[in-house]
C-alpha cells in the first residue's frame, strides 16, 4: 500500500527529521539532556536573525495597516496558536492598544488555549469562518503561525484573507523550498531554519522558541514605529492594575525628573495618560496643549516635546 500524500508531506518536513546530536538522548544523564537542549536552543536567535529582512518587510506592512485603522490578526493551531494569543494579549497592557488591534485566532477556539483539540487544525473551513467572524477587511493583515507551514486551519484563513485583499504573513520553521513544493502561498514568508528538534517532531521546542522571538519582534517593532515608546521606555501602557499605576509614575519620574508627588499629580490631571504627562512636564505646557502636540506629532512623544508635526 503506497504512503498517503499527507504522510509524504509530513515525513519531508524539517521539523520531522531525526536530530543526530540527540540520537541517544534517552541514555543520557539529566545534565547531559539539559545541555543538549540548551546547545540546540542557542542556535535559534541566529536562525531568526537571518530572517530580519523578511521580518522588517512584515513590520512595515503591519504598521501601514495600523495607520489605516486595520488590525494584525494571528491565526494558528496548537503551540503556534497559543503563542499568537500570548503576544496579542500582552499588547493592550504594554502599549495601551485597544484589544481588537492585535487579535489571535486558534483552531478549536478558547478551549484549545488550555487543552489540545485534536483535529481542529485539519479544518481549513474553520480558519476561514473564524476570519469571517471578526469581519476581516482589506485594512487588516493576517499572520499565520505554523511550524510545518501547511496547517490547514492557517491555509484556510489565508484563502479567506486573500478574498478580502488582506496581506498575509507566514511564520514557520519550514524552509521556502519545501513551502513552494507544498504549494503554500503567502505575501511574506518568515522561515527561521532551526533544524531538527531535540525530540523529533516536538515543535513546541526550537520551533516554538523561534516563533515567539519573531512575534515579539513583529509587535514590538510595529509599536515603536507607531510611537508607543519614548527612547526605549513604553510610554503608552494602560494603568490597569496597581503595579502598572506605580510603573507609570516611575516612568514619568525617570524621564522628566519629577518627584513622586508631582508625577502622581500630573498623571491625575491627564487621566493616567503617561505620554501627555511627559509632554506637559518636559515642554512646560498645559494638558490641552500637550494633547494637541501629541496629535500633531502622530503620537510620538519626542516630536510633541520638540513641537514637530
Catalytic positions:
90, 121
Which residue from 131, 133, 175, 117 is spatially nearest to 150, judged by alpha carbons?
175
Residues 6+ apart with CB under 8 A from 101: 66, 71, 72, 91, 92
**Residue 294, all three cell numbers:** 501629541
Cα gap 29→38, rounded to integer Å: 14
Which residue from 96, 118, 91, 92 is spatially nearest to 107, judged by alpha carbons?
118
**Residue 197, all three cell numbers:** 528538534
Cα gap 155→186, rounded to integer Å: 9
**Could you say which DSSP state residue 304 is in?**
H
Q: Which residues of 296-309 are buried (b: 16+ CB within 10 A; e: fewer)?
A: ebeebbebbbeeee
Cα gap 23→196, rounded to integer Å: 11
Q: Which residues of 86-103 are buried (b: 16+ CB within 10 A; e: fewer)?
A: ebbeebbbbbbbeeebbb
Cα gap 115→49, rounded to integer Å: 32
Cα gap 190→150, rounded to integer Å: 14
**Residue 179, all three cell numbers:** 513551502
Cα gap 193→212, rounded to integer Å: 14
Cβ count near 81 (within 10 Å): 28
In the block, cell 508627588 appears at 261
Cβ count near 203 (within 10 Å): 23
Amino acid at each position: 500500500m503506497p504512503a498517503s500524500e499527507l504522510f509524504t508531506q509530513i515525513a519531508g518536513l524539517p521539523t520531522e527529521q531525526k536530530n543526530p546530536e540527540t540520537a541517544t538522548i534517552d541514555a543520557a544523564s539529566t545534565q547531559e539532556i539539559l545541555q543538549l537542549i540548551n546547545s540546540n536552543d542557542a542556535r535559534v536567535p541566529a536562525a531568526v536573525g537571518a530572517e530580519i529582512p523578511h521580518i522588517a518587510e512584515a513590520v512595515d506592512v503591519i504598521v501601514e495597516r495600523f495607520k489605516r485603522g486595520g488590525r494584525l490578526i494571528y491565526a494558528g493551531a496548537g503551540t503556534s496558536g497559543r503563542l499568537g494569543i500570548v503576544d496579542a494579549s500582552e499588547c493592550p497592557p504594554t502599549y495601551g492598544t485597544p484589544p481588537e488591534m492585535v487579535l489571535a485566532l486558534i483552531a478549536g477556539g478558547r478551549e484549545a488555549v488550555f487543552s489540545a483539540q485534536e483535529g481542529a487544525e485539519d479544518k481549513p473551513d474553520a480558519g476561514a469562518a473564524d476570519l469571517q467572524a471578526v469581519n476581516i477587511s482589506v485594512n487588516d493583515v493576517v499572520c499565520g503561525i505554523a511550524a510545518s507551514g501547511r496547517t490547514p486551519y492557517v491555509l484556510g484563513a489565508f484563502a479567506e484573507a486573500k478574498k478580502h485583499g488582506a496581506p498575509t504573513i507566514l511564520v514557520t520553521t519550514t524552509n521556502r523550498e519545501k513551502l513552494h513544493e507544498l504549494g503554500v502561498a503567502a505575501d511574506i514568508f518568515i522561515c527561521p531554519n532551526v533544524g531538527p528538534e531535540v525530540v523529533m517532531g516536538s515543535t513546541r521546542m526550537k520551533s516554538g522558541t523561534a516563533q515567539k522571538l519573531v512575534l515579539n519582534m513583529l509587535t514590538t517593532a510595529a509599536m515603536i514605529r507607531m510611537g508607543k515608546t519614548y527612547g526605549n521606555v513604553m510610554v503608552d501602557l494602560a494603568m490597569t492594575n496597581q503595579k502598572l499605576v506605580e510603573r507609570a509614575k516611575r516612568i514619568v519620574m525617570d524621564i522628566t525628573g519629577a518627584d513622586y508627588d508631582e508625577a502622581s499629580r500630573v498623571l491625575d490631571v491627564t487621566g493616567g495618560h503617561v505620554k501627555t504627562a511627559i509632554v506637559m512636564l518636559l515642554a512646560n505646557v498645559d494638558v490641552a496643549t500637550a494633547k494637541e502636540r501629541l496629535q500633531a506629532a502622530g503620537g510620538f512623544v519626542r516630536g510633541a516635546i520638540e513641537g514637530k508635526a
